With several copies, the nearest count.
Chain A
Amino acid sequence: MTRMYDEIVAVTENRPLTGGHFLLSLRAPRQAQATRPGQFAMVRLLGRSDVLLRRPMSVYDVSPTTRPPRAAGKRGANAHRQPEILQLLYKIVGRGTRLMAELRPGDSVGLAAPLGHGFFAEEYLEEARRADEVLLVTGGIGIAALLLPARELATAGIKSRLFFGGRTRADLVGVQDFESSVAGITLATEDGSKGHRGYVTEPLANYLERHRGRKFLLMVCGPWGMLRASAELAKRHGHACLVSMENRMGCGLGVCLGCSIRVEGTGHGAYERVCTEGPVFNAEHVIWAREEIPKI
């Protein structure tokens, strides 16, 4: 189990982006330095008991200072400095995220991070090295889990490509941050306001079709339908596929057993905890029957 830190930390910035998305910057050096790509944090709103539980949020980025993410690619002189800022990219969907959006610099939140196993648990990294290309597939706020993996792959010299879908162009936040790390970006919107009109799994299917014979690894984070569609495509073409799963979380620490989903082919019993054995699972182990994946 990697080291994890649970502390009260200060907000340094909370920047509104398009489509009800925000980028929250927290001064959390210990959490930032310990985070591996695909891990998440639990965020607590302090001083109130009506929103009781902490909210799970992927670690979007870690950086030495709180510069705009646009500049995050050209790290240059700063690259050797230890990160002090941990960033979360989130979307307002309910009470907790609405309250997060009201945070201002100087406010504090509770932050437990890093949590879970990311995309580069040992066996997964091996898988990535063997692939010709890693396909990062995401929809909506799932993008938040993929920036650090994209960077890690670039650093390791592994080619990657981003497939990113949303309902409308305002959902396609953070694309610029990926530009320096990935070999290509394919966008899709359901309303056609940007990129391919429809689901991003459609251009993904075409891409896999056109490059039969190559060996891909898929890293997917997004809504359930997209996870399943991606997993099916991967399976059909014989590629490995890693999916970052979501579930309601009571603790994020592995003790409440509230986040369990049914997973096959593992030694740890029928149910596994998204917060501890996940959130990244091998898509082959996930049982894709609807009733096993909660509509949360």
Chain B
Amino acid sequence: MAAPIAERERTPAGTEFNPQIGVEISGIHFANPVLTASGTFGYGQEFARLIDLNQLGGIVVKGISAEPMEGNPPPRIYETEAGMLNAIGLQNVGARRFVEEKLPFLRGLRTRTIVNVFGYTTEDYVRAIEILNDGSGIDAYELNISCPNTRAGGMVYGNDPRLTAEVVAASKRAARRPLWVKLSPNVTDITELARAAESAGADALTLVNTFVGMAIDIETRTPRVSNVTAGLSGPAIKPVALRMVYQTARAVRVPVIGIGGIASAEDALEFIIAGASAVQIGTANFYAPDTALRVVEGIRAWCRSKRLNLSDVVGSIKIPPSAASPVS
């Protein structure tokens, strides 16, 4: 698809180079590598009055479960240094109402629609996917495996390679669309989980979800968020997310989609250079809803100035020979 590098290098430096920033992931073509992250963009419609949704590469909708869920009691969020904590509790309208009420709007867009799916048992996941299979206008599923498995004593799916493989394999069998798996960063070795998901049939991996954190009100000596612990997102987590994307991209063959604290095209390019085929914008949507569009434009401008297509950039990090151990 991309013009061969040699050819581009022959085009005189003065002529405008029009970079290809489209990307194919799990058989779906995205006009650009910038998606909005699950839980930070509602069901898309909420942002229609703010930005041109058709300029996005894709929209990943808020996590959907088989049955509606009401979520956690307030307070659910808290601001931290360059980040935020959230424990929304996966409030959502359920797969059936999503298909009936939310999907028609998304179907009307040129932008790709990815549906984030979760459950507390493997059967939950499968059931949600089966309902969603009937909806039209969904391009792929993204499995959120950062949930505690109620059967496995609350052990988090995504923190255990065996549970990961189980839920991915079952979901893959059920899914009539490509299956992305969204990894939890709260693990010792992200590549172990990544390989487990890949072996079990994941068509792409997205990472990272939020880091489990906490904040305390010292006046009342109670947790700031009713759930006690909550997920940390935002610029604060970017360095760790980037490291995990870098490691994962080197450990698997399926495409990797990078997430975590991305607020600018420069941030996004770091993930892409580290090996991400695409990126997702999360928390930044809350305070700067035009972030994703600015990132698209910034990536295009950077590629143009470097005379590179996106595919030349993905994973193009150069590691100096002096660099020894992967640990600081």
Direct contact of A and B (CB under 8 A): yes
Interface flag for B86 (CB, 8 Å): yes
Given contacts A3-B49, A248-B74, A256-B286, 11 further A-B contacts (CB under 8 A): A4-B50, A6-B289, A250-B286, A254-B42, A254-B46, A255-B285, A256-B77, A260-B88, A261-B74, A291-B320, A293-B74
Q: A1-B49, A256-B88, A269-B68 are in contact. Are A53 and B74 (CB under 8 A)?
A: no
Q: A49-B263, A291-B320 are in contact. Are A270 and B75 (CB under 8 A)?
A: no
Q: State the Cβ distance, A47 to closest chain B Cβ, in Å.
A: 12
Contact A52 B75 (CB under 8 A): no
Contact B83 A258 (CB under 8 A): no
User: What's the dominant secondary structure at chain B's contact region?
Assistant: loop
Q: Could you give 22 example pairs across A and B, Cβ below 8 Å? A: A44-B288, A50-B81, A52-B79, A52-B234, A54-B286, A248-B75, A248-B76, A248-B78, A249-B77, A250-B286, A253-B46, A253-B50, A255-B285, A256-B86, A257-B76, A257-B88, A259-B74, A260-B76, A262-B74, A291-B322, A292-B74, A294-B74
The 6 closest A-B pairs by CB, nearest first: A255-B42, A258-B77, A294-B75, A294-B74, A251-B286, A49-B82
Hey, which chain B residues are within 8 Å of A292, CB to CB?
Answer: 73-74
Interface flag for A295 (CB, 8 Å): yes
CA distance A254 to B70 in the complex (A): 15
Q: A4-B49, A49-B263, A271-B70 are in contact. Are A296 and B75 (CB under 8 A)?
A: yes
A residues in contact (CB < 8 Å) with B: 1, 3-4, 6, 44, 49-54, 110, 112, 247-251, 253-262, 269-271, 291-296
Interface flag for B98 (CB, 8 Å): no
User: What's the dominant secondary structure at chain A's contact region?
Assistant: loop
Contact A247 B74 (CB under 8 A): yes
Hey, which chain B residues are within 8 Å of A259, CB to CB?
Answer: 74, 76-77
Interface size on B, residues (CB 8 A): 41
Contact A54 B86 (CB under 8 A): no
Interface set, chain B 276-328, CB cutoff 8 A to A: 283, 285-290, 320, 322
Hey, which chain A residues are within 8 Å of B78, CB to CB?
Answer: 248
CA distance A257 to B75 in the complex (A): 11
CA distance A164 to B300 in the complex (A): 39
Hey, which chain B residues are within 8 Å of A295, CB to CB?
Answer: 75, 220
Hey, which chain B residues are within 8 Å of A251, CB to CB?
Answer: 285-287
Contact A294 B81 (CB under 8 A): no
Q: A3-B49, A258-B77 are in contact. Are A53 and B287 (CB under 8 A)?
A: yes
Q: State the Cβ distance, A137 to closest chain B Cβ, in Å.
A: 23
Hey, which chain A residues are within 8 Å of B288, CB to CB?
Answer: 44, 110
Hey, which chain A residues are within 8 Å of B47, CB to CB?
Answer: 253, 255
Q: A110-B288, A257-B76 are in contact. Are A52 and B42 (CB under 8 A)?
A: no
Contact A52 B88 (CB under 8 A): no
CA distance A55 to B235 in the complex (A): 18
